Chains A and B, each alone.
Chain A
Amino acid sequence: MADPSLIACPHCDLLQRLPALPAGGSARCPRCDRELARARPDAATRSLALSLAAACLFVVANAVPMLGLRAAGRDASTTVIGGAIHLWTHDERMVAALVLCTAVLAPGAQIALMLAVALGARAARPAAWVGALLRHQPAARTWSMIEVMLLGVLVALIKIADYANVIPGTALFVLAGLVFVLAAMQASFDARDVWARVVWADAAAEPAADLGPELAS
Chain B
Amino acid sequence: MSCPACALVSRPPRGADAGRCPRCDEPLAFRAANSIQRTWAFLIAAAICYVPANLLPVLTTTTPQGSESDTILQGVVLLWSPTGWPLSLIVLVASIMIPSAKILALAYLLLSVQRGWVANPGSRTRAYRIVELIGRWSMVDVFVDTFTAALVQLKPLMAVEPAPGLAFFAAVVVLTMLAVEAFDPRLIWDAIPAEERHA
Chain A interfacial positions (CB closer than 8 Å to B) = 2-4, 6-8, 10-15, 31-34, 66-67, 69, 71-72, 74, 76-78, 82-84, 86-87, 90, 92, 94-95, 98-99, 102-103, 131, 134-135, 142, 145, 148-149, 151-153, 155-160, 163-164, 166, 192, 195, 198, 200, 205-209, 211, 215-217
Out of A10, A74, A206, which one reaches B2, CB within 8 Å?
A10
Question: How many residues on B have C-beta within 8 angstroms of the other chain's C-beta atoms?
Answer: 63
- Does B171 lie within 8 Å of A94, measured CB to CB? yes
- Does B142 lie within 8 Å of A152, measured CB to CB? yes
Residues of chain B with a CB closer than 8 A to A34's CB: 125, 129
Knowing A4-B8, A92-B167, the reply to whether A76 touches B142 (Cβ < 8 A) is no
Describe B's contact surface by its main secondary structure. Answer: helix
- Shortest Cβ distance from B196 into chain A, in angstroms? 10
- Does A83 lie within 8 Å of B146, measured CB to CB? yes
Residues of chain B with a CB closer than 8 A to A103's CB: 143
Knowing A83-B146, A151-B90, the reply to whether A33 touches B122 (Cβ < 8 A) is yes
Q: How far is the CA of A14 from the CA of B196 in the complex (A)?
A: 11
Q: How far is the CA of A198 from the CA of B6 in the complex (A)?
A: 10
Nearest CB in chain B to that of A4: its residue: B8
Knowing A14-B198, A86-B149, the reply to whether A200 touches B5 (Cβ < 8 A) is no
Residues of chain A with a CB closer than 8 A to B90's CB: 151, 155
Q: Does B185 contact A (CB under 8 A)?
A: yes
- Shortest Cβ distance from B63 into chain A, in angstroms? 10
Residues of chain B with a CB closer than 8 A to A166's CB: 151
Known contacts A2-B23, A4-B8; 4 further A-B pairs (Cβ under 8 A):
A87-B149, A87-B162, A160-B151, A208-B22
Q: How far is the CA of A78 from the CA of B147 in the complex (A)?
A: 8
Residues of chain B with a CB closer than 8 A to A72's CB: 154, 157
Q: Does B119 contact A (CB under 8 A)?
A: no
Residues of chain A with a CB closer than 8 A to B158's CB: 163
Out of B91, B126, B150, which one reaches A83, CB within 8 Å?
B150
Residues of chain B with a CB closer than 8 A to A158's CB: 84, 87
Contact with A along B151-185 (1 / 0, CB 8 A): 11110011001100011001101100100010001
A and B contact pairs by CB, cutoff 8 A, 17 listed: A2-B8, A3-B9, A8-B1, A32-B189, A67-B147, A72-B154, A78-B147, A86-B146, A86-B149, A148-B139, A152-B147, A157-B147, A159-B148, A195-B6, A206-B22, A207-B23, A217-B1
